[in-house]
DNA sequence: TAGTGGTCTAGACCACACA
DNA sequence: GTGTGGTCTAGACCACTAC
C-alpha cells in the first residue's frame, strides 16, 4: 500500500520547467532572493524542487535569458542588481502587418534609379569607391491609405540582379527575402523630421516628427541593402510581456 | 585496433547543438530548405547529424526562436515564408548606460507633485476615479550635458511609500526597481514633437522630432508607474545580430 | 487515431573561472 | 586544484493536432 501511494504521489507531482521558472521568479521578485544574492547550485535546487538537474538547468537558463539572473561557471548563479529590461519587437513584412489588421494591402513603386553611391551611403554601408546602387522609393497602402514609405538602397555590385528587376509589381523587400540571405543585421529606431517625400506621400506636415526604422544588412561582409521605413503619423512600436 | 580507432573517432565527432544550429540555418538560407519547405522529423534529423534527439530538439528550438522555423506538433517543422525579423533591445538603467561610456552621471529632480490623475492618465494606466498620483520630472546628465528627460507618474494608491519619498537624491527609476516588482510591462517607442519641457531641458528647438520610449508597468493588475523618457537630439536605439 | 514536437529523467563528461 | 554551470546521451511518456 505505501508503495502504491508513493507511486501515485510521484505521478501527481510532475513538475514542469515552467512551474520551476515561475517559482524562481517569484522568489526573486518577492521572496528571499533579493538583488545580488547568490542562489544555491543547480544540483541542490534540483533536489529541493524534486526535478532532475536537466530540468532545473533549463528553468535557470530561461529565467536568466529573461534578464533576472547572471550565471557564471564556478561563480554560481546570482540575481542581477537591476534586471535587464529587454524589449523584443517582431517586425514582419509590411504586407503581413497590414493584412493582419484585415485591411487590403497595395504596393506602389514611386521611383527607381541606378546611380553612383553618394559619400554618406558608401560610408554607411561600407561600400567601395565608385560603387553603383539601386535607389528605390516605394509606398505601402492599407485600404488605400498610405501606411509606410520605404526608401531603399541596394548594392548593385553584390546583387547585379537588382539592376534588372523593375520592382513595379513586387516590392524590393519581398524580392530580397526570397533572393538573398543575410549574415549581419543592424536595426535602428529613430525620430526624424518629415522631409519633402514624407510630406508628399504620407500626409505629414513639413518638419513633423516621424518614427522611422532603419535596417542595414550584410551577407558575407558585403553590404546588401539599407532601408529606411518612415511610418504614418502617430505610429508606435509596441511590445508587451 | 578497429575498436580503438572507432572510439577515438567517436570522441572527436562530438557535435554541439550550436554546430547543428549553424548547419540548419545554412540549409535554410542557402541550401535545400527553401521558404515553406517541410523539414524531416526530429528523430530522422538526429540520426542524420549523429546527435541525440535531445540535442536536435534544442537546436531546432533555438533556430525556431530566431524566427526561421515554425514548429507544430503533428504538422512538423516548416521554414517560415518570410523569416520574422526580430529586434531585441536591452534597456539598462540610464546610470549604467551613461557610465558605460565613461562619462560621469548626474541626476537632478526638476519637479515633484502629488495630484489627482488627469483623465488621459487614468485611462492609460487603468486607474480608478479620483486616483492620486505622484508626478515627477527628472533629468539625467552625462558629463554635465542633459542626456535624458524623465517624465514619470506613480500610482500613489498602489505605492503609498512614493508620496513620502522626495526623490531629490535618488532617481525614481532606481528607487522603483529596488522597491517593487512588476508582472506586466508595456514598452513603446515613438517620435514626438519637442514640447516646452524638452526645449527647456534637453536643448531641442520647439517642434523638433524627439525619440521617446514609454514604459508602463503593472503589478498584480494594479498600475505601478508610467514613464516617458525623452532622449537627446539624434538619439538612436540600435541593435545588431 | 496516429504522428509529431514538448518535456522529463538519470547519468556522464567537460570547460571555465576562481582560489 | 576544484566547484560550478554547459552540454550530450538514451530512453521514455505525453499533448497537441492534422488527417
Residues B22-46 have pLDDT tens digits of 999 999 988 799 889 999 999 999 9
Cell numbers that stand for A27 in this block = 522568489
pLDDT given for residue B14 in this prediction: 58
pLDDT given for residue B172 in this prediction: 93
Contacts of A91 in chain B (CB under 8 A): 84-87
Scanning B186-205 for CB atoms below 8 A from A yields: 186-193
CA distance A202 to chain B (A): 15
Cell numbers that stand for A143 in this block = 485600404
pLDDT level of residue A9 (50, 70, 90 thresholds): very low
pLDDT level of residue A140 (50, 70, 90 thresholds): very high
Residues B201, B217 contacting (CB under 8 angstroms): no
pLDDT tens column, A20-68: 999 999 899 887 998 889 999 999 999 999 999 999 999 999 999 988 9
* Per-residue pLDDT at B152 exceeds 80: yes
Residues B82, A92 contacting (CB under 8 angstroms): yes
How far, in Å, is the CA of A19 from the C1' of nucleotide C7?
A: 13
- Between helix B53-65 and helix B17-29 the angle, nearest 10°, is 50
How far, in Å, is the CA of B55 from the C1' of nucleotide D10?
A: 12
Domains of chain B as residue ranges with CATH: 2-79 (1.10.10.10), 94-231 (3.40.1410.10)
DSSP-derived letter for residue B85 is E
Mutation target vs A (from B29, B85, B92, B98; most A CBs, 10 A cutoff) = B85
> What is the C-alpha separation between B123 and A218, in angstroms, rounded?
44
Contacts of B85 in chain A (CB under 8 A): 90-92, 185, 187, 215
Q: To the nearest whole number, what is the mean pLDDT of chain B?
A: 88
Residues 64-83 of A with CB under 7 A from strand D: 71-77
| CB environment B169-199: b (16+ within 10 A), e (fewer) | eebbbebbbeebbbeebbbbbbbbbbbebbe
DSSP-derived letter for residue B212 is E
Amino acid at each position: 500500500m505505501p508503495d502504491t501511494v508513493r507511486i501515485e504521489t510521484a505521478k501527481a507531482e510532475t513538475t514542469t520547467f515552467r512551474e520551476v521558472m515561475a517559482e524562481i521568479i517569484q522568489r526573486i521578485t518577492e521572496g528571499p532572493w533579493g538583488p545580488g544574492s547568490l542562489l544555491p547550485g543547480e544540483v541542490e535546487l534540483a533536489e529541493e524542487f524534486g526535478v532532475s538537474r536537466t530540468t532545473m538547468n533549463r528553468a535557470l537558463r530561461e529565467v536568466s535569458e529573461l534578464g533576472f539572473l547572471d550565471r557564471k561557471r564556478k561563480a554560481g548563479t546570482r540575481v542581477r542588481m537591476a534586471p535587464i529590461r529587454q524589449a523584443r519587437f517582431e517586425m514582419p513584412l509590411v504586407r503581413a502587418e497590414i493584412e493582419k489588421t484585415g485591411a487590403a494591402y497595395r504596393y506602389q513603386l514611386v521611383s527607381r534609379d541606378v546611380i553612383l553611391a553618394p559619400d554618406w551611403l558608401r560610408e554607411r554601408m561600407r561600400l567601395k569607391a565608385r560603387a553603383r546602387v539601386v535607389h528605390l522609393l516605394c509606398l505601402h497602402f492599407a485600404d488605400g491609405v498610405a501606411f509606410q514609405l520605404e526608401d531603399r538602397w541596394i548594392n548593385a555590385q553584390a546583387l547585379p540582379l537588382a539592376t534588372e528587376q523593375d520592382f513595379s509589381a513586387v516590392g524590393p523587400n519581398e524580392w530580397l527575402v526570397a533572393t538573398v540571405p543575410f549574415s549581419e543585421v543592424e536595426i535602428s529606431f529613430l525620430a526624424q523630421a518629415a522631409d519633402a517625400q514624407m510630406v508628399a506621400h504620407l500626409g505629414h506636415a513639413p518638419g513633423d516628427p516621424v518614427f522611422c526604422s532603419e535596417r542595414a544588412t550584410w551577407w558575407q561582409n558585403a553590404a546588401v541593402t539599407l532601408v529606411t521605413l518612415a511610418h504614418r503619423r502617430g505610429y508606435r512600436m509596441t511590445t508587451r510581456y
